[in-house]
Structure 1
Amino acid sequence: PAGEGWHQDTDVLDTWFSSGLWPFSTLGWPEQSESLAKFYPNSVLVTGYDILFFWVARMMMFGLYAMDGTPPFHTIALHGMVRDQFGKKMSKSFGNAVNPLDWMDKYGS
């Protein structure tokens, strides 16, 4: 909220924007580090389809731009989502997730 006592932090990037930089920024970029040479590009990203346009597309675009046209991953594998009885994605924040420890106790792991 606006008002007295509030100010915007000047050292914060948008979450999806900054996470798009992850494949190379965590490896020492913009320096040509040993880690960057060894681990970029990576081979496979396995992720849920729900973040395809929020995160995966940004990682691809930023990687192509910042790493001279080299994408961060050669293969992107999308997996399914666990949903509740109403077809809604199961999530702790939605309050519809099950406790995996309970299920492991009941059915085994």
Structure 2
Amino acid sequence: MADVLDTYGSVVLDAKGYGFVSFTPESFRTWRVTIINVRTDQGPTQVPIPQATVYLGSIGPGQIVSQTWMGNRSTASGEVLVQPSQQLIVEWANGVPGSRATASIYGTQTMR
């Protein structure tokens, strides 16, 4: 039987407007992530507007599972299966330094 997955993480963007948060399922849990909402606390029209990229496992070009050019208020879509030993990483780039970026993930989790 699947349980609801509903969690979030946040980071303050550094002097270059960069930051990331990572999520890892608890032992023996598998996540089926269906929605990843990303946002920052900067104003909706304040520039620069960060981009958000979602990676599975590690940060690298071959690990991208979703991305959005509107990382200050958007949904990075697509279904992602995250195993207990994997990380789901949400990265922001080119944002407003000092702003807080938050990722909320939703879906289901099951015991493995």
TM over 0.5: no
- State the TM bucket, normalised to the shorter chain: under 0.3
TM-score by length of 1: 0.25
Structure whose residues are more often strand by fraction: 2
Say which one has the larger Rg: 1
Structure whose residues are more often helix by fraction: 1
